[in-house]
């Protein structure tokens, strides 16, 4: 590719990549304008203007990519994960349409995200620490470009095959954990509906204000799903100093007045049965891998053609991938959400990742491990089902060397091979039949038979000769 063509391709790629970032910022600005228009008559917002709504929207967009918003002693650094996940998906689709074919294209997409954050930073609140958001937007762009680049150089590495094999176990497990986390959040909101409604009533807002407050909280829905998984695994979730929630106990203190905090367990609640959810998710992921293998996709189930060492290596890689993904999710769902004790909010990321990886790995390893053991046993037919079938056919248990050879699959010196093990008798071929057929000969006084005559006609020739002589 010549430099002019590469330059045009980079320009098209940058235009395609900047659109998702600007689209997410524009959605935040429109939502902020709508909330401001609905609540402008409130006495507390009498001094606010449209430009203030734009500054708040820009700061919230930067917060989604890792910025910290400060207002006096108030510090907000909890990332609303719904925005960067949505931006990642949009940038991935844009980069895939534009085409990513080399590392230079990845750098262009990453630089586009970082520059977009720099532009938005000029519209943010003055006390917003936006440099971390520039780095975060660049990382989102780089990851999306790498996902769109299907032929990048890493698959050429020798160890990448192990990563792919482990990822086949890891991605169904991560998807099931995300689904389970969302279900836990909705179940908690349903169980604590009374407390949630009481917190909404405390704000005494109109319907539009309630809608705006709910919309802002929905942007933190992925964070709440990670918190729910941490609580289910037994790792405590801190909501300020001295306040933690876990499946094995709750230490309650002062909580912020946000309605979604009403879904947290009540003080003193103990729910150890929630630990079964990660184990069941691991079992389901192992079953999915088995189902994919049953439909003929051998690459989807490495345990069908490998030994215990290879299988353990694949599970080790899957364990590492799941641990890394969960640790990253735990770190991103933690951050300050106020001042004083509220500067420590979120789960303990390493502990949460370790407990969830162990619990889900236990369930994940059971199904493929049992399948591998059964297939290895099937080579020497140790199954009770086969022995029961043989017993029902013969009318009783088999004994002696024949029974031993059938069960173990090993040939006993004194055992007569069963009918199913005997070699079938082959019928002779035409060439062998022709060679084995009798050849007619001619003796003195005996008419010679034609070459094509059969040996059975020789007596008839003798009788005919005797009649002629008489």
Does the structure show a pLDDT above 60 at 452?
no
Cα separation values, 450 from 42, 149, 457, 458, 462, Å: 124, 81, 10, 10, 14
Helices marked H in 3-81 — which ranges?
Answer: 3-39, 50-64
Question: How far, in Å, CA of 179 to CA of 309, rounded?
Answer: 32
User: How much is the pLDDT for 181?
Assistant: 94
CB 120 within 8 A of CB 22: no
pLDDT single digits (tens) 108-157: 999 999 999 999 999 998 888 999 999 999 999 999 999 888 666 565 56
366 burial (CB, 10 Å; 0-12 / 13-18 / 19+) is middle
CB 50 within 8 A of CB 59: no
- Report residue 407 as tokens: 């069960």
If pLDDT is split at 50, 70 and 90, which confidence band does 221 have? Answer: very high
User: How much is the pLDDT for 403?
Assistant: 46
pLDDT single digits (tens) 414-428: 444 444 444 455 555
User: How much is the pLDDT for 6?
Assistant: 84
> Which has the higher per-residue pLDDT, 463 or 236?
236
Number of H helices, E strands in the chain: 16, 8
Mean model confidence pLDDT for the chain: 78
**Residue carrying structure tokens 């935040």:** 28
User: How much is the pLDDT for 111?
Assistant: 95
If pLDDT is split at 50, 70 and 90, which confidence band does 158 have? Answer: low
- Mean pLDDT, range 451-464, rounded to an integer: 56
- Mean pLDDT, range 323-332, rounded to an integer: 94
Helices 308-332 and 160-191: angle between axes, nearest 10 degrees: 50
- One DSSP character per residue, 117-142 reads HHHHHTTS-TTEE-HHHHHHHHHHHH
Does the structure show a pLDDT above 90 at 72?
no
Share of the chain above pLDDT 70, in %: 70
Question: How far, in Å, CA of 99 to CA of 35, rounded?
Answer: 38
User: How much is the pLDDT for 380?
Assistant: 40
If one counts every other C-beta atom within 10 angstroms of the C-beta of residue 335, the result is 19
């Amino acid at each position: 590719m010549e430099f002019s063509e590469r330059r045009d391709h980079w320009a098209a790629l940058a235009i395609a990549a900047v659109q998702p970032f600007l689209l997410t910022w524009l959605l935040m600005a429109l939502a902020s304008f709508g909330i401001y228009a609905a609540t402008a008559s409130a006495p507390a917002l009498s001094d606010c203007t449209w430009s203030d709504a734009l500054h708040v929207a820009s700061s919230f967009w930067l917060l989604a990519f890792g910025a910290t918003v400060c207002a006096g002693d108030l510090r907000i650094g909890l990332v609303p994960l719904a925005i960067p996940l949505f931006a990642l998906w949009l940038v991935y689709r844009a980069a895939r349409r534009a085409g990513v074919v080399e590392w230079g294209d990845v750098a262009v997409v990453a630089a586009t995200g970082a520059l977009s954050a720099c532009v938005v930073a000029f519209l943010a609140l003055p006390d917003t620490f936006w440099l971390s958001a520039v780095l975060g937007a660049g990382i989102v762009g780089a990851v999306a470009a790498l996902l769109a680049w299907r032929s990048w150089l890493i698959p050429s590495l020798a160890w990448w095959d192990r990563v792919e094999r482990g990822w086949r176990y890891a991605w169904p497990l991560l998807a099931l954990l995300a689904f389970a986390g969302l279900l836990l959040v909705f179940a908690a909101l349903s169980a604590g509906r009374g407390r949630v409604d009481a917190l909404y009533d405390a704000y005494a807002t109109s319907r539009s204000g309630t809608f705006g407050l709910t919309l802002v909280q929905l942007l933190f829905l992925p964070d709440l799903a990670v918190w729910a998984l941490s609580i289910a695994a037994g790792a405590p979730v801190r909501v300020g100093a001295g306040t933690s929630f876990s499946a094995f106990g709750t230490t309650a203190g002062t909580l912020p007045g946000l309605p979604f905090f009403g879904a947290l367990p009540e003080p003193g609640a103990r729910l150890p049965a929630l630990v079964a959810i990660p184990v069941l998710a691991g079992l389901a992921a192992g079953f999915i891998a088995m189902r994919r293998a049953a439909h003929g996709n051998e690459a989807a189930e490495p345990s069908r053609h490998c030994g215990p060492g290879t299988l353990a290596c694949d599970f080790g890689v899957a364990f590492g991938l799941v641990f890394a993904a969960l640790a990253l999710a735990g770190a991103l769902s933690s951050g300050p959400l106020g001042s004083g004790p509220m500067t420590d909010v979120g789960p303990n990321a390493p502990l949460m990742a370790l407990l969830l990886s162990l619990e889900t790995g236990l369930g994940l390893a059971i199904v493929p491990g049992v399948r591998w053991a059964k297939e290895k046993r099937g080579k020497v037919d140790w199954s009770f089902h086969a022995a029961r079938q043989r017993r029902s056919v013969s009318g009783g248990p088999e004994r002696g060397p024949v029974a031993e050879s059938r069960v173990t699959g090993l040939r006993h010196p004194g055992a007569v091979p069963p009918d199913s093990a005997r070699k079938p008798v082959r019928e002779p071929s035409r060439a062998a039949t022709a060679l084995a057929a009798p050849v007619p000969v001619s003796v003195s006084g005996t008419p010679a038979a034609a070459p094509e005559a059969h040996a059975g006609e020789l007596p008839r020739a003798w009788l005919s000769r005797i009649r002629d002589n008489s």
